[in-house]
A and B are shown apart, each in its own frame.
Chain A
Amino acid sequence: MDNAAKEKIKAIVGNKNFTDSQEDRICYSYDGTAVLHHLPEAIVFPETDEQISKIMKLANEAPFNVVPRGAGTGLSGGSIPVENSLVVVMTRWNRILEIDTKNLTVTVEPGVTTANLQSEVEKYGLFYPPDPGSLTVCTIGGNVANNSGGLRGLKYGVTKNYVLGTELILPNGDLLKTGGKNVKDVAGYNLKDFIVGSEGTIGIITKILLKLIPLPTESITLLAYFDKLTDSAQAVSDIISAHIVPCMMEFLDNTTINCVEDYTHIGLPKNSEAILLIEVDGKGSAVQEDAETVKNIMKKNRASFIRVAASISEANILKTARRSAFSALARKRPTTILEDATVPRSELPAMIEKVTEAARKFDVTFGDFGHAGDGNLHPTCLTDERDKNELDRAHKAFDFIFNEAIKLGGTITGEHGTGLAKKHFLEMVAGIPGVEMMKKIKSAIDENNILNPGKIFTISPKCEGSLPFKREQIKDFHL
């Protein structure tokens, strides 16, 4: 990016919303993803749709790349800058525009944090369920772009189940509006759902319309301790086949339990091989009945102890502790590479076995935790990026885990997105026709490939002949 381009950008957003200082470039060179980072050329904090539109047009001319960014908690490198790029930070777009209590919807700007949105709508007795572990920090824009899940996904689904519409600026500068307040709408292709999970490669989202549901009145939260890992996995399967749908069913292995306890000091059982954090919610006596059934299933699977939260505040403490799991694992080793392999729920016990096998085979340490009810685990490799040899073994272990997950009918990422970190594995899941269709769509919308290029997959215009589809080929082409 040359000075002329920078001057033009400044003219668009104003001097105060532009920076290219070395300090700021360093501070926007990373997100929550381990190991990966890259310096952007400059950073802007746009204030209006028009400014974003002008930036997109300029990016096509200048040219430079545009990388949208929320709070930078992403775990697949979605908002990490690429070569010759301008980072567009959306955190200051943090207003809640309308809470519609008649249609049960909320309209927000993309920079509102998930926790803030939830507490505001709860004042009206309404509920926005998706709750990523990072909810106090991450933005709704990031959630929509990554189709984020959370602890309550088991019963309530993920972000896509709540997006009713979006407004976004396309790479050519046009404003696209998708969806609306209608409960039913089948006019044309379903563009609204296509935007969800597009990881900032299709447009910069500037407004989001979300569906709300009534706030459940009762909930019971409990924690079951297990001496054997396999018993906990079996208990999860038994609950699902008993046709009970808890709103959350979270799994923590022994390594994770120890790290979380060292941080929170809330009396977690440091000797247990696993714990399950389960919450049932709803209305009236059904909640109590479900909780009893859950307890019986836990006992049948040899849970050594069942702790029932005595109050809402105790339940919150337990959930907050679970949310800290990923970061708490960094107490053991400085680099924590977290993965997101997901399998059909019935295969969960097999998957947990495979992670243990990977650790043994490649001589690395894993902490394992995650959304057991969804079959979505986060095996996290505890390593040190300064030790290249170990890092290499860690990557091999992940190759193994991904392959095994796919053999079990699973996928490489359940909720964190493909981004930079997992694009080499995309073809394994989506297949060649799938990846090819994605690339064609992207090229049609973003002719010059200026918006978050190199994320999800690589489009390489310089390539002669057929595009690289094989994993090995793609590796050589990434930015």
Chain B
Amino acid sequence: MSEKINLLVLQKILPNDDILSQCIHCGMCLATCPTYELTKLERSSPRGRIRLINALAKSEIELTDTFVYEMNFCLDCQACETACPAGVKYGSMVEAAREVISESEYGASFSNKFKKFLLRNILASQPKLKFVSKLLFIYQSFGIKKFLHSIGFFKLLSPKLGEVDKLSPEVSKTFSSNIFQERIKPKGEIKYKIAFLTGCLMDVMFAEINKDTVDVLTLCNCEVINPKNQVCCGSLHAHNGDIETAIKLAKKNVDEFGKFDYDFLVSNSAGCGAFMKEYGHVLQNDFNYSEKAKLFSEKVKDITEFLSDILPEITFHNVEGSFTYHDACHLAHTQKVTNQPRKVLNSIPGIELNNLEESTWCCGSAGIYNIVHYDDSMKMLERKMENIRKTNSSTVLTGNPGCISQIKYGAKKFNVNVEVFHPVTIIKRALLNSNKK
């Protein structure tokens, strides 16, 4: 068993020893790691995890409960990658370790199987996701949820499940991909051709944000191209050790978007954008796809990144209010996009953008982390909400769907009086006002 796994590690994870040897165990990453901050245990730190992955690869340890726990306890927030001066690619190591776990007997555990089923069968297929979401929508809007809550159904199941249910975002009334045409033209002359990823969760849970994004783009004289057959970007799969499905999805998107001619591919979800920028890397050894994927990735931009580039061409109107900005991990740490959203927001007259302390510290949402590690996630959320409270802002802006629902939940749970929006929603307001004028 152990031999097989280690072979697996060596083949899949460590095509060469260099990635693992690069960490000089200086410890500079410890201060930025939310899980180390919670436990103060070396094994819940990036440095410790790297050492453990190294030990597994060199057969010094077997795949154990502790190992599996620590790999899953990690938020994959990649704050340690930002902090590491040596340029250690921690994210790819932990994702590889998760792949080994999911292919071992540990992967056969119920919760892992359920996760896999969810990821493979629901998220990866847009029609199925829409179907399940419709059920969810009916359940949410027809008071069944209320009824089940009132009889304490969720509490009965598990004390935490009830909370988890509140954490899952409300499903949108309509799915954005159902309203959008494949090509949406701006009113005036076309300046840029922008491909748009509707995203799986964004599409069914945050359709309004998708609509705002498309509106912002068209108001900025962009033609929006929305390939009908695009699929989920695959990031959730990759982060949870299902590289195989992730690769399938990546290829499909490269093909589907490849049918169109566009300047940039814009994403409004930090996680999706981050992973699509990685396609080139993920598919680098695929003879048929390596070139295409590289080109695909080079054109990917977060919406705020794109707007910041064309800022001189935009006129904003007054939007009053005190705002603060939370950096989504996959925007700040993975894509290194931190200045652009602030630059765009600061150029809107009337906006007061308050500095958020520890703005790049993970809110605990982290994909499905808040469901699987509810208690730890809440500790991180509490810290985030305290920092938000200190800003005295009435609105929090953040560029990732997971963060939006997590912070909304936190506002209720920890009694912080704030609204939570995606930056595009506010940007749209600023644009519309100016257009009226």
Contact = CB atoms under 8 A, between A and B. Distances in A.
Contacts of A92: 40
Nearest to B27: A73
Given A23-B70, A30-B51, A134 B28 contact: yes
B55 interface: yes
A31 B21 contact: no
A331 interface: yes
Interface string A331-350: 10011100000000000000
Interface string B24-42: 1111101100000000111
B86 A27 contact: no
Interface string A46-73: 0000000000000000000000000111
A137 to B, nearest CB: 5
A142 B8 CA distance: 40
A260 B48 CA distance: 24
Contacts of B138: none
Nearest to A326: B26
Contact of B30 (A30, A71, A262, A384): A71
Interface in A174-206: none
Contacts of B331: none
Interface in A90-124: 91-92, 94, 113, 115
Contact of A27 (B18, B21, B24, B42): B42
A330 B42 contact: no
B21 A386 contact: yes
A464 B30 CA distance: 45
A24 interface: yes
Contacts of B26: 32, 73, 134, 326-327, 330
B285 interface: no
A384 B24 CA distance: 11
Given A26-B52, A134-B26, A335-B24, A72 B42 contact: yes
Interface in B58-99: 60-61, 64, 66-67, 70, 84-87
Contacts of A31: 25, 27
Contacts of A94: 40
Interface string A7-30: 000000000000001111011101
Contacts of B317: none
Contact of A28 (B21, B40, B42, B70): B42
Question: Which secondary structure dominates chain B's binding surface?
Answer: loop
A262 B84 CA distance: 12
B133 to A, nearest CB: 40
Given A23-B70, A26-B55, A137 B30 contact: yes
B43 A27 contact: yes
Contacts of B51: 26-27, 30
A34 B64 CA distance: 28
**Which among A23, A30, A334 has the greatest number of chain B C-beta atoms within 10 A?**
A23
A334 B22 contact: yes
Contacts of B40: 45, 89, 91-92, 94
Given A26-B60, A26-B61, A137-B30, A262 B43 contact: no
A151 interface: no
Contact of B86 (A21, A28, A137, A327): A327
A72 B55 CA distance: 19
Interface residues of B, number: 30
Contacts of B66: 21, 23
Contacts of B61: 22-23, 26
A73 B85 CA distance: 15
Given A27-B48, A91-B40, A32 B27 contact: yes
B85 A137 contact: no
B85 A23 contact: no
A89 B18 CA distance: 30
Given A23-B52, A24-B42, A27-B52, A327 B31 contact: no
A22 B21 CA distance: 20
Given A23-B43, A26-B55, A26-B61, A331 B87 contact: yes
B31 A24 contact: no
A91 B45 CA distance: 13
A134 B24 CA distance: 14
A134 B43 contact: no
A328 interface: yes
B28 A262 contact: no
B22 A330 contact: yes
A179 to B, nearest CB: 28
B43 A24 contact: yes
A136 interface: yes
A262 B86 CA distance: 10
Contacts of A30: 25, 51
Nearest to B24: A330
B24 A334 contact: yes
Nearest to A325: B85
B26 to A, nearest CB: 5
A330 B55 contact: no
Nearest to B19: A334
Interface in A310-335: 324-331, 334-335
Contacts of A32: 24-27
A88 B64 CA distance: 24
Contacts of B87: 262-263, 330-331
Contacts of B43: 23-24, 27
A375 B102 CA distance: 53
Nearest to B54: A26
Nearest to A335: B24
Contacts of A34: 24
A45 B55 CA distance: 24
Contact of A328 (B17, B23, B42, B85): B85
Given A330-B23, A330-B26, A330-B86, 19 more contacts: A22-B60, A22-B64, A23-B43, A23-B66, A24-B42, A26-B60, A26-B61, A30-B25, A32-B24, A32-B26, A34-B24, A94-B40, A260-B85, A324-B85, A327-B28, A330-B22, A330-B85, A335-B21, A335-B24
Shortest 9 CB-CB contacts between residues of A and residues of B? A330-B86, A327-B85, A324-B85, A328-B85, A27-B42, A136-B31, A334-B21, A27-B48, A73-B27
19 contacts: A22-B60, A24-B42, A26-B51, A26-B55, A26-B61, A27-B41, A32-B24, A72-B42, A73-B26, A73-B28, A92-B40, A134-B27, A137-B27, A137-B28, A260-B85, A324-B85, A327-B84, A330-B26, A336-B24
Interface of A: 21-24, 26-28, 30-32, 34, 45, 71-73, 89, 91-92, 94, 113, 115, 134, 136-138, 259-260, 262-263, 324-331, 334-336, 384-386
Interface of B: 17-18, 21-28, 30-31, 40-43, 48, 51-52, 55, 60-61, 64, 66-67, 70, 84-87
